[in-house]
Amino acid sequence: MELSNNAADVSVEFFELDDTLINNKVGYINRKAAITNSHILKVKVTNNTTGCSVFGQIELKVTPTTSGFNQLKNIYKAENNASTDITNFSKGSNDATFNLDEKIDKVISNSSGVFNRSEYQFKYYLTSEDAAKETNEITAPYTANRYSNGTKIYLRISKGNTCEGIAEFNLFVNKLPEPLNVINPNIICLNFPNNSPVLETKNISSDTGNSIDNYKWFLNSIEIPNETNSTLIINKGGIYKVLINRYYPNEPGNEDDIETTGYKTFSVQESSIAENISIKYIDNQDEGFNNTITINVEGLGDYEYALNTNSLSDFKKGDNNLSYTFTNVPTGLNKIYIRDRNECGIVNTNEISFIYFQRHFTPNGDGVNDTWNISGIDNNFYTDVDLQIFDRFGKVLKIIDLKTENGWNGTYNGKLLPTNDYWYNAVLKDVNGNIRKQTGHFSLLRK
């Protein structure tokens, strides 16, 4: 016995400080004593052989036991962000990281000085059996472990080899708000007919399905005032971001209240139909078919080009987004279509007339090149086509209106003219009142 220094043949008596003898040493209760964590008793140790006695005091300290502190407060933490692109969106991981060291600090601070880290050992386990047997301990650093919602944790408090108690509490994961029905338009069209912008509006949506969530919207990192709904109406491009806050009032009181935040970024690109179109073209080439059109445009779009068709399969993308050159353009009327691949629309040019002045003809009656003509004028684009043909000495051989006559057959006053070079002077007037004049020469070949 510690009280008698293990002396033999001694008797021990306990007294209250007012000398009241405690007869029932087992199960004794002093109902008048103040409720504190300690209580002092007098002790009398008597040597039964000599009859000598010594007196002392003993302090009784009350420490928690399993039945006294088995329910600790639960811990609530925000869900971890498991996003693979943390810059642009958050994504809940279904677990959280808990700092269990903080729980030990709270147990110590709430023990009124009973517990401390120097004398007591604090160990965590996932089951009550592990806590009792001290197996499969959860070791520090505790932040290296992640736990799912509702995980039960057991805290074993020991002093030396003595178990002072096992307490339990739960770990709860408060989920990040996450958009369920995301609408991201990606492209918004800003079209400028006659230099007057037509602003398209589109919706960005990040609704979580939870009516208690709060939303904040940003454009290029600047908060948009008074925009607190899950859907934002936009009319310009930029980097949009939504912050979604969700408040968890957890247990009574606000000590464990948590606000979690999710977010998503929307990149919206501005685009437009092609505008300020300019055209350069070359026709009347010696080969007759080696005509070209180069078109240049302005705009915000991603453009592709088609000749004489607006079928989607016929559009072609050039090396330069704002320019394209067509080769081997046929004679006659041609029209270019420009499509914004971002689907802001298709525009087209006015009709462009390509003509070809024959370099020779063979009026031999075989049905091939029997008359000299201008290719590409057999349409309604030209209202007048006046043609004069001369010989090498400047003599007028023929005056023709090619809108009413089918070329020159190589005769003069009913006589066949010989193989030779002849000259022409052509004046063409189109539906817009524009005049095109062309002079040149060609060969008449008799075969």
Q: pLDDT, tens digit, for every residue of 296-344?
A: 999 999 999 999 999 999 999 989 999 999 999 999 999 999 999 999 9
Closest CA to 192 of 75, 273, 283, 281: 273
209 or 184, which is more confident: 209
Q: Residue 12: pLDDT above 90?
A: no
Q: How many residues does the chain have?
A: 447
- Over residues 55-81, mean pLDDT: 74
The model's pLDDT over 395-416, given as tens digits with 9 standing for 90+, comes to 999 999 888 888 999 999 999 9
CB 204 within 8 A of CB 232: yes
274 or 17, which is more confident: 274
Q: Which residue has the tokens 């810059």?
A: 87
Closest CA to 335 of 323, 326, 322: 326
Q: What is the CA radius of gyration of the chain?
A: 50
35 Cβ partners below 8 Å, 6+ apart? none
- Over residues 197-213, mean pLDDT: 86
Q: Angle at the Cα of 60 (from 54 to 61), degrees rounded to 5?
A: 150
Closest CA to 163 of 59, 70, 36: 70
- Over residues 232-237, mean pLDDT: 91
The model's pLDDT over 95-152, given as tens digits with 9 standing for 90+, comes to 999 999 999 999 998 888 889 999 999 999 999 999 988 999 999 888 888 999 999 9
pLDDT band at 29 (very low <50, low <70, confident <90, very high): low
Long-range contacts, stretch 274-281, CB < 8 angstroms, 24+ apart: 274/298, 274/299, 274/301, 274/303, 274/338, 274/340, 274/347, 275/192, 275/299, 275/347, 277/338, 277/347, 277/349, 279/336, 279/349, 279/352, 281/329, 281/352, 281/354
Domains and CATH numbers, the chain: 10-62 (no CATH), 68-174 (2.60.40), 181-268 (2.60.40), 275-353 (2.60.40), 356-444 (2.60.40)
Identify whether 177 is preceded by a cis peptide bond (ω within 30 of 0): no
1 or 200, which is more confident: 200
CB count within 10 Å of CB 300 equals 22
Closest CA to 23 of 32, 36, 13, 31: 13
Q: What is the pTM of this model?
A: 0.68
Q: How far is CA 65 from CA 70, 152, 171, 399, in A?
A: 8, 19, 22, 124
Measured CA to CA, the distance from residue 61 to residue 70 in angstroms comes to 19
Three-state DSSP state, 289? coil
pLDDT band at 192 (very low <50, low <70, confident <90, very high): low
Three-state DSSP state, 145? coil
Sign of CA dihedral 248, 254, 256, 258: positive
Measured CA to CA, the distance from residue 196 to residue 202 in angstroms comes to 19
Q: Residue 64: pLDDT above 70?
A: no
User: HSE-up of 398 (CA within 13 Å, CB side)?
Assistant: 25
And the tokens for 28? Answer: 């004794």
Helix H or strand E segment including 130: helix 128-133
Using DSSP bridges, classify how beta strands 187-191 and 258-271 pair: parallel, antiparallel or unpaired.
parallel
166 Cβ partners below 8 Å, 6+ apart? 66, 70, 128, 131, 132, 154, 155, 156, 157
18 Cβ partners below 8 Å, 6+ apart? none
Q: Residue 226: pLDDT above 90?
A: yes
pLDDT at 66: 39
Q: Which residue has the tokens 């080899």?
A: 161
pLDDT at 301: 93
